Structure 1
Amino acid sequence: MKRRDFGQYCGLARALELVGERWALLIVRNLLVRPHRYTELQTGLAGIPTNVLATRLKELEQAGLVERQVAPAPARGVVYALTEVGRSLEPALLSLARWGATQLGEPQPGDRVTPEGMALNMRAAFRPEQAVDMTAAWEIHVRDAVVHVVIDEGALTTGLGESPVKPDLVITPQLDEDALPSFRAVVHAIREGAVELAGRRKLLDTFLRVFTAPRAA
């Protein structure tokens, strides 16, 4: 599969040459959340053809954005992880995610939501000016997925699974059976009071203030 070469001495053109191919940025998105095995990337990128995933990983490795690592104990085998250069893409991805969120219409049949996508979209929605010196931890339980959000003196981390520190508040949205478990749907459920809470309930309003823009009047 021939890679695109624009033949232009331009930063944007070079970026598109490296990560502009179909699925490439979604692979980077998932690896920004945590390193993944090949099979985990297949699962988290439902719909990606196997040959395309293999090709994109090879291209990203050759570009110095992705590397293979030995999985830490007690796990075994190889995982794919971002290099320092790959991780430096995060601000650009978050900006794209924020812009893309303004262009989302209603979910279409066949649309999917992944836990990795939710974790990154929460980073994109983060309003650091509302979290100065804040320390708090949340867990969001959405059907079979768990996403944790930790703010430590204003610095944000998000990830999959249980929080590395004891969560101050666990939020379980009550979504309609046919609703996509998206971050937008979680926020809507919170605002409608369709949630189960465990922990410091006052941190629910804090969560909305820190992770969502004010609603229009």
Structure 2
Amino acid sequence: MSRDYGQYCGLARALDVVGDRWNLLIVRQLLMGPARYGELREGLPGVATNLLTDRLRDLETAHVIERQLSGDSNAIAYALTEWGAQLREPIHALVRWSTPLMIRGPESDEFRPEWLLVALPALFEGRVPINESATVGIVVDGGMVQLRATKSGIDVGKPDGRELDAVLSANAHLVLGLAAGVLSLADVATLVRIDGDESAVRSFLDAAPRQNETSPL
């Protein structure tokens, strides 16, 4: 890496690798799956092309990411290494820590619905839905993510075609507030739309921590 703190400290050495601007956001994008250069640019509004190239090179040199062939086209995609994927845990912790910064809304900042694929697993971590067979969609700005109840917790992913019990449509800050537990459906009843079985939505929003665990927030 071109710069380092020169300190024999785990935090300092971690920041030597991922502390530069855009690095953790690149990791955020790759936590959702491998991505080509153009897809990364699309998912990182505001990044300069030369800076993105530099950051990808640095992360690859540090063995946080690697290149791989994408599908049948033999195009190059970037993916997290096994070591790089271990950043999911600290990123989830930062997402939970950011809750007071997020509930005021996006203001002038850009938002992409796909970012919920990282935020919602962090906010729902360690919680078990009441109805273990429920599946709902969350729609923000025209994009949908799917919540699926499992015996071990809440699976967040892209819609996979299965039948949905309900669809919740709302602005991003309301969805994040609901998932974080700082808002209730009663608080935002006139600001959200629920199509289908409201109890299925509540099954996720009222989900309790797994036994012997406490809420992350």
Pick the TM interval, shorter chain.
0.7 to 0.9
Partner of 1:137: 135
Unaligned runs of 5+ in 1: none
Q: 1:155 to 1:184 in 2, by over 3 A?
A: closer
Provide the C-alpha distance between the structure 2 equivalents of 1:164 and 1:67, rounded to a whole number of angstroms.
31
Deviation sequence 1:30-76 (CA, Å, 0-9, x none): 11122222111111110011111111111111111111222235x66
8 Å contact from structure 1 (residues 133, 154) kept in 2: no
After superposition, residues 53-202 of structure 1 pair within 5 angstroms as: 53-73=52-72, 77-104=75-102, 106-107=104-105, 109-131=107-129, 134-160=132-158, 162-163=159-160, 165-173=162-170, 175=171, 183-184=175-176, 190-191=185-186, 192-193=188-189, 194-202=191-199
Aligned partners of 2:31, 2:199: CA distance in 1, in Å? 30
What is the rounded CA distance, in whole Å, between the counterparts of 2:78 and 2:107 in structure 1?
Answer: 31
Aligned partners of 1:147 and 1:158 also within 8 Å: yes
* Structure 2 stretches lacking a partner, 5+ long: none
Q: Give the 3-state SS of the residue equivalent to 1:81 in structure 2.
A: strand
Equivalent position SS for 1:103: helix
Root mean square deviation, CA, Å: 3.0
Query: Which residue in the other structure is 2:32 paired with?
Result: 33
How far apart, CA to CA, are the structure 1 residues paired with 2:56 and 2:33?
15
The 3-state SS of whatever aligns with 2:95 is helix
**How far 1:133 sits from its partner (Å)?**
9.0
Shift in Å at residue 21 of structure 1? 0.4
Q: TM-score, normalised by structure 2?
A: 0.79
Following superposition, the deviation at residue 128 of structure 1 comes to 2.2
In structure 2, distance between residues paired with 1:22 and 1:168: 40
Check conservation: 1:127, 1:210, Cα contact below 8 A: no
- Counterpart of 1:130, as a letter, is V
Q: Number of paired residues?
A: 206
Asked if 2 retains the 8 angstrom alpha-carbon contact of 1:28 and 1:82, the reply is yes
For each residue in 1:164-192, what CA deviation from the matched residue of structure 2 results, as whole angstroms up to 9, or x when unmatched?
6433332223x5xxxx6663367669542
Query: Which amino acid is 2:32 matched to?
Result: V
